[in-house]
Amino acid sequence: MPYCVLMDGLAKARQMHEAKVVFDEMMKKNVRSDGYAHSIMISAFCRAKLFQEAKQLANDFQTTFNKYDVVIMNSMLCAFCRAGEMESVMETLRKMDELAISPDYNTFNILIKYFCRKNMYLLAYRTMEDMNSKGYQPAEELCSSLIYHLGQENAYSEAFSVYNILKYSKRTICKALHEKILHILLAGKLLKDAYVVFKDNATFISGPTTKKFASAFMKSGNINLINDVMKTLHSCGYKIGQDLFEMAVSRYLGQPEKKDLLLHLLQWMPGQGYVVDPSTRNLILKNSHLFGRQLIAEVLSKQPVKLKAEKSR
């Protein structure tokens, strides 16, 4: 083992030639290292970006030895991944299965980075799911990168799953990631999930993104959650404009069975300093027969008259 310690020290000091001389001497003298000498040199070649040399050494190990463990397998995987040898990567994974060698944190990390480099983002996602199920927590930087690429591939729900893996791990989350996933969810029209993200992280969401979320939800979100979204927007200090109220009212008017939600919204508004503008008031009165004219008249009578509409901001 002194050979391995010396070789590792030389390799980490970037003295690759000297490290290789020690390795060759070990091989010439048939010094046993149970594969660790190969592992050290393969890792050293990878760090030095000598990927073809790393691949060749990994191939030599496969043909010469028949003893493997997860450390050696990881070194071989790293070499094959960095050299872009997909067939060898898959063969190494099959061998791990055959020998019942369980992957560790480094195994998953190597594979996810490799699949991302190959633009195989769904495979990277499934690998990360497997990683998480085995109890390993992926790094925030790796998750953030995968979330971005999954979003670019229109894999919106998968991106949200990666976000949740990170959220429920013990890793810290960059504040900007909450806004990034919110944009992805809005692009995928996953508005209920977007609401959960917004509600939990409203203080980290910018004004323009808040406006984008609010408009999208009022237009197409779950009608049963509209009032909850209104209250959440208000509680985080967002000034709700008449355009959002008009969208909400129009949604309710389209489904008369939701009259209780409309009435609740109209009753909630005055206490928070909001009023119904003339155009929205006229729209409600025009459809008051759907909800009961007297009841609507009573609710609107408690609303101050607003002469000029405001935009949400």
Q: Which residue has the higher pLDDT, 61 or 117?
A: 117
**Whether pLDDT at 242 is above 60:** yes
Which of 68, 102, 136 is the endpoint of a domain? 102
**Whether pLDDT at 312 is above 60:** no
Among the residue ranges 52-61, 182-191, 199-208, the one predicted with the least confidence is: 52-61
Residue 216 lies in a domain: no
**Whether pLDDT at 66 is above 80:** no
Residue 63 lies in a domain: yes
CA distance 20 to 24: 6
Tell me how many domains the chain contains: 2
Sign of the CA dihedral 184, 187, 190, 195?
Answer: positive
pLDDT score, position 307: 44
Those residues whose C-beta lies under 8 Å from the C-beta of residue 72, and which sit 6 or more positions away, are 35, 36, 38, 39, 61
pLDDT score, position 162: 98
Which of 65, 81, 102 is the endpoint of a domain? 102
Q: Which residues form the domain of 246? A: 239-313
Q: Which residue has the higher pLDDT, 25 or 67?
A: 25
Residues 275-308 pLDDT 10s:
888 888 888 888 888 777 777 777 777 766 554 4
Among residues 235, 229, 205, 200, which one has the least CA distance to residue 217?
229
Which of 68, 83, 102 is the endpoint of a domain? 102
**Whether pLDDT at 310 is above 80:** no
pLDDT score, position 305: 57
Residue 274 lies in a domain: yes
Residues 175-198 pLDDT 10s:
999 999 999 999 999 999 999 999
Domain of residue 10, CATH code: 1.25.40.10
Residues 77-105 pLDDT 10s:
988 898 888 998 998 899 899 989 999 99
Residue 42 lies in a domain: yes
pLDDT score, position 60: 80
Residue 66 lies in a domain: yes
Among the residue ranges 26-30, 58-62, 138-142, 153-157, the one predicted with the least confidence is: 58-62
Q: What is the pTM of this model?
A: 0.83
Q: What is the mean pLDDT of residues 148-162?
A: 98
Average pLDDT of the chain to the nearest whole number: 88
Q: Which residue has the higher pLDDT, 277 or 163?
A: 163
Compute the CA torsion angle 50, 93, 148, 84 (nearest 10 deg).
Answer: 30
Banded model confidence at residue 34, pLDDT cuts 50, 70, 90: low
Q: What is the mean pLDDT of residues 141-148?
A: 96
pLDDT score, position 46: 80
Residue 188 lies in a domain: no
Whole-number percent of the chain with pLDDT over 90: 54
Residue 77 lies in a domain: yes
